[in-house]
Copies of this chain bind each other. A is one copy, B any other.
Amino acid sequence: MKKVTINSVASYAGVSKKTVSRVLNNEPNVSDATREKVLKVFKELDYTPNPIARGLAQNRSFIIGCIYDNPSKSYITRVQTGALAACQENNYNLLIHPCDLRGDALISNIEHLLQSSRLDGLVLTPPFSDFKVLVDFLKSKKIPYARVASAVLEDDSISVRSNDEQGAFEITEHLIKLGHKAIAFIKGHPDHSATEQRFKGYRRALSTHGIEFNERLVEEGNFSYHSGVDSARSILDLTPRPTAVFASNDYMAAAVLKLATQRQFKVPDDISIAGFDNAPIARHIWPGLTTIAQPVEEMTKQAVTKLIEHIGDPQEQPYQVTLEARLITRESTAQVR
């Protein structure tokens, strides 16, 4: 198998390599006849341009980096799926880069990543999407970036999110409509902006329906299963016991369910449990969790698509979109008795 380069194509087609390059890039000012001739040779020789050489000449890598520090493997996988879809459509590659938000080396870590991999752009996923230090750093370095599931919208960037506040409102309202009044809430990780958003939605639903907010019903979690266990313990020990628990994500909700089951409570008869995210576990356990589904793949795909457009044409407008979240009711919530 001989290597097929632009030179072989050029000589085979009887044109200069610059002309071949023009055809490759769909540039104007190539006669139809020449274009067709070259395209035919592409097929005949089964030519694929070398992205590395291209990258060198254009000072690009055709690689997008995806930064994350997220305990939920299913979330990460969904993010990757969406990002990959966008990359494949645009002949880009995706580089994944897990890292510590809290590590003091974060910025230098990212700086090194950018230097050594020459990424064309970065996708920030929670909790980085709203991490000001990082965003400011990227801005100052003029590194193109897109944010997924950020809470704060800015005017001059690419950001695709879903409505966490509204989702939390709806699921809380769902519980209220089932007759629940004492609804415990488990917060997420403080570094994630979703934590605050979901809490807001919970409170808004309460006040909309004239239920007084009770601080004692709120527990601090961090999105991990383990933190859910701790919070669940406190909540189940309360007197009077709340009739429902809304955990900020499904892992913590699963923890509540596990502890409740261990203590011989019937879910949802004795206590209703709701989660958030529609993680796989929500339907893998019994009873299945009532939860909120977000279009994670779609968010990420849009963000990456726009990011790639922006890299190709930096004049591109900012892009700010909010997609809808959806309530999914399963067996873990029921009418209060």
Contacts and interface: CB of A to CB of B under 8 A. Distances in A.
Contact of A76 (B77, B97, B284, B285): B77
Contacts of A141: 1
B51 A280 contact: no
A118 B51 contact: yes
Nearest to A66: B96
Interface stretch (A87-95, A180-188, A207-215): A87-95
Interface centre among A1, A52, A262, A280 (most CB of B within 10 A): A52
Contacts of A117: 51, 93
A56 B52 contact: yes
B93 A95 contact: yes
Interface residues of A, number: 45
A258 interface: yes
Contacts of A1: 141
A262 to B, nearest CB: 6
A255 B261 CA distance: 17
Interface string A233-277: 000000000000000000100110111011000000000000000
A225 B93 contact: no
Nearest to A88: B97
A50 interface: yes
Nearest to A118: B52
Nearest to A73: B77
Contact of A284 (B52, B94, B255): B255
A62 to B, nearest CB: 9
